[in-house]
Amino acid sequence: MQVYADNAATTRMSQVAVDAMMPYFTNVYGNPSSLHSAGQEAKEALEDARARVAKCLGCEPREIYFTSGGSEADNQAIISAARFGARKGKKHIISTAFEHHAVLHTLNKLEKEGFEVTLLDVSQGHNITAQQVREAIRPDTCLVTTMYANNEIGSVLPIAEIGAVCKAAGVPFHTDAVQAVGHIHIDVKAQNIDMLSLSAHKFHGPKGVGALYCRRGLPLTNVIEGGAQERGKRAGTENLPGIMGMVAALEDAVAHLDENMARVTALRDKLIAGLSQVPHSALNGDPVNRLPGNVSFCFEGIEGESLLLLLDMKGVQASSGSACTSGSLDPSHVLLAIGRVHDVAHGSLRLSLSEYNTEEEVDHILEVVPQVVSYLRNISPVWRDLQTGKRTYIL
Ligand SMILES: *Cc1c(COP(=O)(O)O)cnc(C)c1O
């Protein structure tokens, strides 16, 4: 049995998304900026897609800008707010310690340019509160950027409450909602979100395409120069097949949101209950406010990398944290931020489910993970030291 349980890294495309893309490779291949009829047909499809994405998020079509994915949308949102803030002498940004690197690295770059960044602590309950945001806001704060849901540990942040705090303080609020869009209910207006990043390949759409929602009236700075596309805010010929696949996947996800959430949550809870039986293990992430598909554990006395390789041999494809950090020997910044010590953070496992996973697959995971964990512990010198009392258990 082959089980794909790494949907937070990327998802399989849905058939509706594949079908929606096909005509835009062959029949409707015009450049939306061309004035002839082939171009205009493409332009109409593009604007129709924009309106449909807007409808799924609860905003206006002109507030949607198509990008190459989540990373680009994050970069553009943060850089725009920073440039606008700097013009008014405001150079303080609030974020969290467990953001995706697309956000953290952009903030690092801005720090080198003289911005001051406050990263909110996430060790309490593996989440933040709106109160933490309220207390961190200063007169010179030009942006609050917090993810909607964490890609490694699944915590869902109190977005509507943070939105209300930011609105009351008059500070723009951006959220990296790449893990949330298509998986949980979002309404940008009701939640007072000013900017939001999304990426198609996290909800069964194609890779390399995403969008930035930016509330009307908030200024946007180009990060890619060269043409007047996207109302002058993002140069480059639009990826029309990708955009059409994205909107089809998004509408499909939104149409089946409640049933998918219920199904995936039930699978997740079965996995969490089963894996909690493994001795000296701990669930990572907010146990209550949690993505439907996220299961993240630390197992004491093992190496996450060996766990992944052995699981792969037994047909389970999972991750130790985020795809972006694998290949490096440093433990995940997210696990360190929630307070896991290095040794424990190294023994991490993330299983991320989608509506394509089945109960039989979950049963298979529950059979092989405990086996592989005990196998690895039996050959681990660290585990022997824990058992003989030379070292003390942390979990
Ligand atoms: C995947 C992901 C991104 C990056 O999106 P890409 O489209 O792959 O650039 C950003 N933020 C989060 C939380 C993600 O999970």
pLDDT single digits (tens) 136-181: 999 999 999 999 999 999 999 999 999 999 999 999 999 999 999 9
pLDDT single digits (tens) 64-103: 999 999 999 999 999 999 999 999 999 999 999 999 999 9
> Which of 178, 195, 198 maximizes ligand 1 atoms within 8 Å of its Cβ, making it the mutation to test the pocket?
178
**Which atom of ligand 1 is the closest one to the Cα of 147?**
13
For residue 127, give Cα distances in angstroms to 285, 290, 332.
7, 10, 16
Q: Determine the distance separating the centroid of ligand 1 and the alpha carbon of 227, expressed in angstroms.
A: 25
| Block residue for tokens 């995936």 | 264
- 34 close to 228: Cβ distance less than 8 angstroms: no
Contacts of 258 (CB under 8 A, 6+ apart): none
Burial state string for 332-349 with b = 16 or more CB within 10 A and e = fewer than 16 = bbbbbbbebeebbbbbbb
Residue 307 burial (C-beta neighbours within 10 Å; 0-12, 13-18, 19+): buried
CA-proximal residue: ligand 1, atom 6 (nearest): 70
Q: Determine the distance separating the centroid of ligand 1 and the alpha carbon of 377, expressed in angstroms.
A: 33
For residue 158 the two structure tokens come to 């109190």
Domain with CATH 3.40.640.10 in the chain: 15-255
> Which of 72, 151, 153, 324 maximizes ligand 1 atoms within 8 Å of its Cβ, making it the mutation to test the pocket?
151
Question: Which residues are near ligand 1 (CB < 6 Å)?
Answer: 69-71, 74, 100, 102, 147, 151, 176, 178-179, 199, 202, 210
Nearest residue to 351 (alpha-carbon basis) of 293, 392, 307? 293
- 205 close to 173: Cβ distance less than 8 angstroms: no
Q: Determine the distance separating the centroid of ligand 1 and the alpha carbon of 180, expressed in angstroms.
A: 11
User: Which CATH architecture best describes the domain 3-9+257-388?
Assistant: Alpha-Beta Complex (3.90)
Under CATH, which number does the domain 15-255 receive?
3.40.640.10
Residue 96 burial (C-beta neighbours within 10 Å; 0-12, 13-18, 19+): buried
The secondary structure of residue 328, as a DSSP letter, is: S
State the Cα–Cα distance between residues 132 and 165, nearest whole angstrom.
Answer: 10
Other C-beta atoms closer than 10 Å to the C-beta of 109 total 14
**Which atom of ligand 1 is the closest one to the Cα of 74?**
10
Residue 29 burial (C-beta neighbours within 10 Å; 0-12, 13-18, 19+): middle
Q: Determine the distance separating the centroid of ligand 1 and the alpha carbon of 206, expressed in angstroms.
A: 13
pLDDT single digits (tens) 111-125: 999 999 999 999 999
Domain with CATH 3.90.1150.10 in the chain: 3-9+257-388
For residue 71, give Cα distances in angstroms to 75, 178, 210, 255, 268.
6, 9, 9, 26, 27
Active site residue 214: no
**Which atom of ligand 1 is the closest one to the Cα of 8?**
15
Q: Determine the distance separating the centroid of ligand 1 and the alpha carbon of 2, expressed in angstroms.
A: 25
Contacts of 141 (CB under 8 A, 6+ apart): 90, 92, 93, 94, 169, 171
State the Cα–Cα distance between residues 110 and 90, nearest whole angstrom.
Answer: 13
For residue 224, give Cα distances in angstroms to 49, 218, 233, 236, 246.
22, 18, 8, 8, 21
Q: Considering just the CA atoms, what is the radius of gyration of the chain in Å?
A: 22
**Which atom of ligand 1 is the closest one to the Cα of 207?**
7
State residue 307's pLDDT score.
95
Residues of the chain with pLDDT under 70: 321-329
**Which atom of ligand 1 is the closest one to the Cα of 209?**
7
State residue 330's pLDDT score.
79
- 33 close to 218: Cβ distance less than 8 angstroms: no
Q: Determine the distance separating the centroid of ligand 1 and the alpha carbon of 200, expressed in angstroms.
A: 10
